[in-house]
Structure 1
């Protein structure tokens, strides 16, 4: 992929790369590594110093599941992602993944996992359907009404999110990528075979660009307006009693209830059970301060209410809380595509609160696209053109 500076038509002395990655969070850092590994001269730009708390990757943990609604492409991408996370573990010597299993709980009056179960079986994913009695017997800390059921994925688990970003940073730099932190992007321009990225510290140029701006895509709207709506979201860590909620006993979990859709993690090393609410949230705009945890009564109230109802032994003292950002699309599917007028500019965004688990595979996919590989089924599912007309939400998490 590497080319001489003159091949892109820039003059001698300009800051020229093969690929510029805008946004070096989970998706961008993974893409930067994959591109550099293929021999590209890569520049990664980030307004902060990843891993950091200004995007969507902080807060210690993220679920990784393989049984998914929304199409087979998700399942294939999730399975590939886990392979790549394990590869990154081996390359860096860091523990990035805990195979705790994931328990997807649901009130069937609200949501059913049965279609997802049969899709998973067909694609070779290890899954079990459990009724409420099964669930209570295996995880006695859960207080569930008899109508509840669950889809259990024994081979799933959770990722240590900041470690994952740090691991890909280490790998990207080891393969020759350059990372500029504290470098916000104020604009992007493109013409045939060339892309320029404008920052307060000067302009950078490349034959291709990959835009992974997360909740900050609004700042690039002059170049490409996207149907991405940033939302403020919160998570909290709560004190637990007994051993029913500890790591090694309680798996990662999701809960679809009449009072909301939640997700969470066991109490890891006595730091508290972590829980967040997937639906709801408050709008946020790039450049605005993000209200800290506790600004709204529902920040703690919603989380404590769900725990008190379904995991009463985990509804203890609030140990800490954190606010982060979702980047939502209208249908909650991702956007992974080429710019409609500049095919050498790739876009990856709108990961809608359920994208982190895929970051390793999305980075690989973006590198393949930048290297000229044919776009496959994943790109059809995540195409930007689908928003005319706007589809209905899928409500996955």
Structure 2
């Protein structure tokens, strides 16, 4: 089996599926290849929900990207006829001595994002389920919320295929060749050629070596859903949240349809490599204990029995900023990775930007912060191997 396309996308998760949709709707002959069948549980997009925030750390470029992503998610909702984004509000909490919010508030207000700075007394009054020490404060974003992540992937998939894109699920890439003109992607079901190639392989980027070697490390992450007091933590009464605590950074969601408060830890995690089976939730004592201890300290009425759990993967760059750029050795190859931990919310905007890059257009969002040049590119580019 040998076919030719305009663009091939390797990795059809959040970024890849979004890019496939935006290319296909422009009439671009697009092939998406994935080692599994998206949406699936082998990447970073499962687990029901992802936060979407606009008052972002990292500067104005992130704020602009978040706002563009929000607009694109609304467009996807209209196009798909599904509710994908829930504006629950997001409460970002931290000890005031850390000074986490001042610059974020300035950047957000400069972009017209609504934010409130709240002290512990006000937080505890508004959300009786929270018990925040007086040394803490928060930045509240009333227009933020969460995305139904797997629904988002499924919506992009359905629309991309309807626009003529092709998807090869359960297909591992065995080899990639680029000679300055066309690129060739070799798989067990055939070889495929295209003028341009987008690599969005997530935590699986190491499997594409030596064609590309990115400074990305993958780690195993866990989340848990805990039985919570009805009414206090339900959707509509309780926001999404982030929490910078003494024992680490955490994020979470209200109880959706009685499923329990979802909470995960942002920092830490065990190393993971493609091909390894991540150890199940509960293998490490801290899988549950870290989450439970944090709930008991700050939201004790949400620290009931563990209702369910999940294991996923982060893919992190050294500075935890994304990589979105051309391959240093091949102008017609675009690489996009290092998104985990905070990338899903941006995938609607990133997919659109990747489509624009593949078509030789200037992206509608500023991608300068995500350039490969901030790393040693001599160790990144592969040869025509």
- TM tier, shorter chain? over 0.9
Q: Secondary structure at the match of 1:15?
A: strand
Separation in 1, partners of 2:99, 2:212:
35
Aligned to 2:116: 128
1:321 maps to which of 303, 309, 313: 309
Q: Secondary structure at the match of 1:109?
A: helix
TM value normalised by structure 1: 0.93
Aligned to 1:286: 274
Pairwise CA distance, 1:215: 0.2
Separation in 1, partners of 2:353, 2:13:
16
Structure 1 residue runs of 5 or longer lacking an equivalent are 1-12, 390-397
1:191 maps to which of 179, 191, 206: 179
Aligned to 1:387: 375
Aligned to 1:51: 39
Pairwise CA distance, 1:192: 1.5
Pairwise CA distance, 1:111: 5.2
Q: Deviations over 1:267-314 (max 9, x none)?
A: 000011000000010000000111111110000000000000000000
Q: How many residue pairs end up in the alignment? A: 377
Aligned to 2:295: 307
Aligned to 1:221: 209
Aligned to 1:5: none
Q: How does 1:110-125 map to 2 (within 5 A)?
A: 110=98, 112-125=100-113
Aligned to 1:340: 328
Does structure 1 residue 39 correspond to structure 2 residue 27?
yes
Q: How does 1:139-288 map to 2 (within 5 A)?
A: 139-288=127-276
Separation in 2, partners of 1:358, 1:379:
12
Native 8 Å contact 1:73 1:378 kept in 2: yes
Separation in 2, partners of 1:194, 1:168:
27
Native 8 Å contact 1:102 1:251 kept in 2: yes
Separation in 1, partners of 2:282, 2:174:
32
Aligned to 1:393: none
Native 8 Å contact 1:65 1:157 kept in 2: yes
Pairwise CA distance, 1:221: 1.8
Native 8 Å contact 1:111 1:256 kept in 2: no
Native 8 Å contact 2:272 2:278 kept in 1: yes
Q: Secondary structure at the match of 1:171?
A: helix
Pairwise CA distance, 1:377: 6.5
Change (3 A) 1:233 1:111: farther
2:53 maps to which of 52, 59, 65: 65
Aligned to 1:356: 344
Native 8 Å contact 1:21 1:43 kept in 2: yes
Native 8 Å contact 1:333 1:352 kept in 2: no
Separation in 2, partners of 1:21, 1:254:
33
Pairwise CA distance, 1:201: 1.6
Pairwise CA distance, 1:202: 1.8
Q: Deviations over 1:322-372 (max 9, x none)?
A: 100000000000000000111111111001310000000000000111111
Native 8 Å contact 1:329 1:352 kept in 2: no
Native 8 Å contact 1:242 1:313 kept in 2: no
Runs of 4+ in 1 over 2 A off after TM superposition: 108-111, 374-379
Aligned to 1:94: 82
TM value normalised by structure 2: 0.96
Change (3 A) 1:110 1:321: farther
Change (3 A) 1:377 1:99: closer
Pairwise CA distance, 1:136: 0.6
Separation in 1, partners of 2:61, 2:201:
23
Pairwise CA distance, 1:105: 0.6
Aligned Cα RMSD in Å? 1.3
Pairwise CA distance, 1:122: 1.1
